[in-house]
Structure 1
Amino acid sequence: MTSIPLCLPDSITPKQFLTEYWQKKPLLIKQGLPQLVDMFEPDDMIGLALEEDASARLLTQAASKKEGQAQWQLKKSPLNETDFENLPEQWTVLVQNLEQWSPELGQLWQAFDFIPQWQRDDIMVSYAPAGGSVGKHYDDYDVFLAQGYGSRRWQLGKFCDDQTEFVADEPLRLFDDMGELIFDEILEAGDVLYVPPKLSHFGVAQNDCLTFSFGCRRPNLMQIIDSVADIATNDSKLFIPMLLPQALQASGELQADSIAAIKAQLLEMLQSDRGDDMIRQAVSEVISKRQYDALMPEETLDTDELMQALSEGATLQADYSNRLLYSQTTDGTVLYANGQRIDGLDKAAIAVLVRLANGEALQHSDVTDVDADDLSEWLENGWVWVDVAE
């Protein structure tokens, strides 16, 4: 497998980017992803948007907003060919989770190896003819906007917050005022623009245009709380009523002292070794869950075919449409895949899965200590992908 250079300017190290730019300010990376140039054409994305299992959205924009009507119209998948007939001049189609459809595209995540892989969300493509856009908006997550075909003009403005007012009665979170522009340039194929969370941005296709969004996202507290609660239901000790100090008080009153005592015991449990284990498992399950349903391959290699391919030079790699990660505990390395803890692995299997989770491409000689049937099962589960030698 060809090594993919990091998507950063030569003058900026990964440490500098994370210290000076990450979630702080935008960065233009000229020719940051040249591998993406002409990897796909517009017709490829239209065809993909029509697939029954695709997660796609078609946005159309009227030339002007009529009273009582939205200027934008949104239709979600499934889409059909008639949806692309008689379109207005300005429209865009978005397709999510492209890693599911193209492992080769998924491998480009390696260009962002300075970001932990558990923070990677998915790769989305936006196709639009000249003039097409998705309006002025912001995202709550970090995104690398990579131009793959054609060109798009990007404008960046102010950082938004909870007080930002959106245009009423539209199917999208759009606003009119981006404040003073801090960036206004045209990206050509291969260029990449990093946009931090909540920074307003507006992209307009200059011609037939494919823009690939490499989105990075962290879990929210509600997801972690829900996961901790689910895990806690398996701990019988947590169902034992708490012992609380009792002071004389009105019979109908819940005093602040009682609430404080309950809170103190809850925090004590969460800060204990048992609490650490619960939180570690909760976070691991949340961040390893897929955002989209798995698309099972129509056919895959059986065990003999897999081993034959590896012996002939194919490499085994993590499938970037799935979520494979590990954490180190006092009991050793624990692996998770797609929201589930993987148990029953021997040391050799753990070592190989750790290397795969870290983005390595493994050859036949790297996996000889792992049972061939286990390798085949990983392939069937979608954890790994085989890059067959040309």
Structure 2
Amino acid sequence: MYKLTFSLDDFLSNYWQKQPTIIKGGFANFQDPITPEELAGLTMEEEIDSRFVSNLNDNWSAEHGPFDQQKFETLAPSNWSFIVQAANHWHAGAAELVTPFKQIPQWLFDDLMISYSVEGGGVGPHIDQYDVFIIQGMGKRHWRVGAKDTGQYKETQRHEALRQIESFDADIDQVLEPGDILYIPPGFPHDGYALEPSLSYSIGFRSPKEQELISNFADYVLAHDMGDAHMHKPELGTQANQGEISTSDLDTLSAMLRAQLDNQTIVKDFIACMLSQSRHQLNIIEPSPKWTSEEVAEHLANGGEFYKVSGLRALIHEDEPNVVYINGEVFKVPENLTPLVSQLTNTEQVSDAELSPQGVSLLTDLINKGYWYSE
């Protein structure tokens, strides 16, 4: 089990979205949860998002996986990296690395990205728009971090698949060793390259942009067939200027535009449905044959557990704890199931030998969707 050597509360107060910092020994006696060979195996899987980046002789190239064995047999001795996104969805050991950060609201958590680099390997100087904790595993990596972007950094395109910037002055210039953590808030330029074969683990937190909220809300309104009405104005009169939009009409159309946004119930459902969906593919496998309620109840009664698919989001609103949003779906449950809701949203497993028939029915539904599973 991984445990931070520092207070996450103190860290959030002093550094979160304020300034980058390095925490030496953020994990004591750090042990890698995955080997380079296992990571290479993940890059061969079709459903897993992986990349290969090379910068030999400053000649940048990037490819998306999946890769085959031949790829690994033809690699140069230096200046390349393999990267796997959402590794926590596909590797149980890697997923445990996320646990110490779960006190941060999980709707903000994006994924665990793992990078294996040989000497000189990296992705070049760039700027991200999310918060990230970069944990150094095996090996050593040299990191540089500059001042926050206020428009002074110019983008450069060394390869069409890489968004990089030109060089920058470093405020942080250090070498990370196993167990060290580098935190970088949004907007700070950074660049890291391996000094020797090394593993890096990036735990990213990402909030939606305004345009994402607007675009997704429009999709939500259309999908639920809301607002299917035209402007109604039986008192319409003639006007002298035919090309003019009257203030009255503008007010009416603006009110139509705001109508759904002013409906708190609609907005709450939309926000939670959107935030409960991962941006990365999940390892969801529906069971065959399906579980029956009787089988679920018997499994729990015998001390069995059901485990949440790694990366699956189960959320509730603070003021409405009996409406659960899971992977974009809405589940309204009676108040007597509050303990079950707490397990669904706050833990990685469900184990309740005395779960009520209503609770068993809900859990059976979730299991048969592939959201929870039994080992």
TM-score normalised over the length of structure 2: 0.85
Deviation of residue 84 (structure 1)? 2.4
- The whole-number CA distance in structure 1 between the counterparts of 2:361 and 2:314 is 19
1:211 is the counterpart of 2:200: yes
SS of the aligned residue for 1:106 comes to: helix
Shift of 1:377: 4.1
Q: How far did 1:237 drift?
A: 5.6
**In structure 2, what is the Cα distance between the partners aligned to 1:63 and 1:265?**
58
Whether 2:85 is the aligned partner of 1:100: answer: no
Contact 1:232/1:238 (8 A) holds in 2: no
Q: Percent identity?
A: 27
CA contact 2:62–2:159 (8 Å) conserved in 1: no
Q: What are the equivalent positions in structure 2 for 1:314-353 lying under 5 Å apart?
A: 315-328=305-318, 333-343=322-332, 345-349=333-337, 351-353=339-341
What is the deviation of 1:43?
A: 1.1
In structure 1, what residue type is equivalent to 2:38? D
Task: Give the TM-score taking structure 1 as reference length.
Answer: 0.82
Q: 1:56 to 1:383 in 2, by over 3 A?
A: same
Per mean C-alpha deviation after superposition, the further-off stretch among 214-223 and 261-270 is 261-270
Q: Aligned equivalents of 1:385 and 1:41: distance in 2?
A: 26
Unaligned runs of 5+ in 1: 65-70
- Contact residue 224 and residue 282 of structure 1 kept, 8 A: no
> CA–CA distance in 2 between the matches of 1:366 and 1:210?
44
Provide, for residues 209-242 of structure 1, a one-character-per-residue CA deviation record: whole Å limited to 9, x for no partner.
1111111111122222233223434466651424
Matching residue's letter, 2:45: E
Amino acid across the alignment from 1:9: F
- Say whether the 8 Å CA contact 2:276–2:326 is kept in structure 1: yes
Q: Superposition pairs for residues 171-210 of structure 1, below 5 Å?
A: 171=160, 172-179=162-169, 181-210=170-199
Q: Can you list the C-alpha shifts for 1:122-162, whole angstroms capped at 9, x where unaligned?
A: 11100011221111112111111112222212111122255
Alignment partner, residue 67 of structure 1: none
Separation in 2, partners of 1:54, 1:289 = 17
Counterparts of residues 188-267 of structure 1 (less than 5 Å) = 188-233=177-222, 234=224, 239-243=229-233, 248-255=239-246, 258-264=249-255, 266-267=257-258
* Deviates further, 231-240 or 319-328: 231-240
Question: What's the counterpart of residue 54 of structure 2?
Answer: 60
Q: CA deviation at 1:245?
A: 8.2
1 CA distance for matches of 2:310 and 2:14? 28
**Secondary structure in 2 aligned to 1:199?**
coil
Aligned residues: 369
Note closer, same or farther for the CA distance 1:336–1:127 as it changes in structure 2 (3 Å cut): same
Report the Cα distance in structure 2 between the residues aligned to 1:163 and 1:376, rounded to whole angstroms: 55
Closer, same or farther in 2 for the Cα pair 1:373/1:102, shift >3 Å? farther
Match for residue 351 of structure 2? 363
**8 Å contact from structure 1 (residues 348, 370) kept in 2:** no
Cα distance change of structure 1 residues 269 and 283 upon mapping to structure 2, 3 Å threshold: closer
SS at match of 1:325: strand
The CA distance in 2 between the partners of 1:316 and 1:213, in whole Å, is: 28
Distance 1:151 1:316 in 2: 39
2:250 alignment partner AA: I
2:132, 2:203 within 8 Å by CA — same for their partners in 1?
yes
The alpha carbon displacement at 1:106 in A equals 2.1
State the partner residue of 2:342: 354
1:321 is matched by which residue type in structure 2?
Answer: G
Distance in 1 (alpha carbons) for counterparts of 2:284 and 2:260? 41
Shift of the 146–247 alpha-carbon distance from structure 1 to 2, 3 Å rule, reads farther
Unaligned runs of 5+ in 2: none
After alignment, is 21-30 or 315-324 more displaced? 315-324
Query: Superposition pairs for residues 1-390 of structure 1, below 5 Å?
Result: 5=3, 7=4, 9-10=6-7, 14=9, 16-34=10-28, 37-64=31-58, 71-88=59-76, 89-161=78-150, 164-171=153-160, 172-179=162-169, 181-233=170-222, 234=224, 239-243=229-233, 248-255=239-246, 258-264=249-255, 266-267=257-258, 270-271=261-262, 275-297=263-285, 315-328=305-318, 333-343=322-332, 345-349=333-337, 351-359=339-347, 361-365=349-353, 367=355, 371-372=359-360, 374-384=362-372
Higher mean displacement: 184-193 or 354-363: 354-363
Task: Flag the 1:124–1:366 CA change in 2: closer, same or farther, 3 A.
Answer: farther
- Given residue 56 of structure 1, which amino acid in structure 2 is its aligned partner? S
1:45 deviates by 0.7
C-alpha separation in 2, matches of 1:311 and 1:147: 42
Evaluate the alpha carbon distance shift between residue 242 and residue 25 of structure 1 in structure 2; reply closer, same or farther with a 3 A threshold.
Answer: farther
SS in 1 for 2:164: coil
Change (3 A) 1:27 1:9: farther
Q: Aligned-residue CA RMSD in angstroms? A: 3.2
* 1:355–1:55 distance in 2 versus 1, CA, 3 Å: same
The letter of the residue matching 1:127 is: Y
Letter in 2 for 1:292: H
Distance 1:205 1:228 in 2: 42
Deviations 1:44-98 (A, max 9, x none): 111111123221101111304xxxxxx2111101211222233232100101111
Contact 1:318–1:324, Cα closer than 8 Å, also in 2: no
- 1:202–1:57: structure 2 CA closer, same or farther, 3 Å change rule? same
